[in-house]
Structure 1
Amino acid sequence: MAYTSERPPNAESSDQLRARIPGWGADLDPKHRPSVPKLQWQDDRSGAHWDFPERQPEKQPRERSIEHAFLTPVFGTSCPPKGLSGVLRRYSYRKYSEGRAAHWLLLLAADRVDAWESHLRSFATLRPDNPITETGVLSEFTRHGVASRVGRRRADVKHHLVDPVLVAGPWVLVAGLLTAAIKTLVRRRG
């Protein structure tokens, strides 16, 4: 088992390794090892002083692949799932194996949803997102954007026409929907 202290069996004996690899086992003699006084090796163990490592407490439910019986003893919580993106992530881990494309496509979709949740959350602050300055569009005009692409054999030139659509498209779509909603409200009141 992966998280136990049992020592895995050697594939080859020491004599076989010594015959096959020049210099193998040079430090087997305790006289040649400077750390011998500190070592207290157990022949039947890997050197760990535990049978199973102490587990990190799980303060909130974490995603776990269906291939694994439990979370690893130590895990990260740098970005705990929240909102609709968290629901998508939990569903992906609960329903699909990591070997399935659906698992990863749902996680990609959850990342995009998380980005939009962050954009929408920024409008509730004093400094909302500014797509013009934060995407680097202005540097295209001030930092030789076109000249850096023409005749340079850059691999990323192929998708430059699609980039503005992918970056600005959602913002334009939201602005259009808001404009249409406001016009509809004005017509109904008037």
Structure 2
Amino acid sequence: MPYTAEKPGPAHDPEALRARIPGWGADLDHADRPAFPREQPGIVTGAHWDLPEQQPEVGERERSVEHERLTPVFGTAQPLHGVSGAIRRRAYRRYSEGQTAHWLLLILGDRVDAAGAHLRSLASRRPDDPLTLSGVLGERGRSPIASRRQPGRIDQKHTWMDPLLVAGPWLLAIAAGTALVRRAVRR
């Protein structure tokens, strides 16, 4: 049972694991393991509970299909909302954490949420400024072009697409806004 105060016992026979998995058990020598004394059965953990008290669920919470219940304590600061929340709920309800689709849907939900935040900022008095928020101005005086051409930089392969990823959504938003204004003026 997960989330209990007791340390679970060994699940498999160590000799069977050593025979099946090359290199298994390399850390079994207790002299090589600084945490060994704390792993002994019967060590007092200091936990005053057998199973922690379950935090009450207010509203619906996302949970992985691998787990039968939520952890005893969970965050509630950012509840799922809107289209991004629907995408994230689908990722948790439909796919296991071991599947790529689960993580791709979570990334898509994050990008949808970010796009919504950018659109909301355009409608506010102080819209986001992509130039200053990207940190580009902080590179002035520090050889920004020359530093990107140094050998060994890992990001050289995708440097060409960075301006597209940063400026692309803004250009699309401006194009969409211009098209909407033109339609309104024609009517």
The verdict on a shared fold, with TM-score over 0.5 as the criterion, is yes
With over 3 angstroms needed to count, the CA separation of the structure-2 counterparts of 1:9 and 1:186, relative to structure 1, is closer
- Pairing 1:181–2:162 present: no
Task: Map Cα deviations across residues 133-171 of structure 1 (whole Å, 9 max, x no partner).
Answer: 211333455542112123443221221111001110111
Please identify, of 143-152 and 2-11, the stretch whose mean Cα deviation from structure 2 is larger: 2-11
Task: Map Cα deviations across residues 98-143 of structure 1 (whole Å, 9 max, x no partner).
Answer: 1111111000000101111111222343322111221133345554
More helix by share: 2
RMSD: 3.0
Task: List runs of 5+ in structure 1 lacking aligned partners.
Answer: 13-19, 29-41
Matches within 5 A, 1:95-110: 95-110=94-109
Pick the structure with greater CA Rg. 1
Number of positions where the alignment pairs a residue of Structure 1 with one of Structure 2 = 163
- SS in structure 1 of the partner of residue 117 of structure 2: helix
Residue identity (%): 54
C-alpha contact 1:7 1:46 (8 A) present in aligned 2 = no
User: Which residue of 2 is the match for residue 2 of structure 1?
Assistant: 2
User: Which residue of 2 is the match for residue 36 of structure 1?
Assistant: none
- SS in structure 1 of the partner of residue 126 of structure 2: coil
- SS in structure 2 of the partner of residue 147 of structure 1: helix
The TM-score with structure 1 as length reference comes to: 0.72
**In the aligned structure 1, how far is the partner of 2:135 from the partner of 2:30?**
56
- SS in structure 1 of the partner of residue 136 of structure 2: coil
User: Which residue of 2 is the match for residue 85 of structure 1?
Assistant: 84
Structure 2 residue identity aligned to 1:92: A
C-alpha contact 1:92 1:103 (8 A) present in aligned 2 = yes
Task: List runs of 5+ in structure 2 lacking aligned partners.
Answer: 14-28
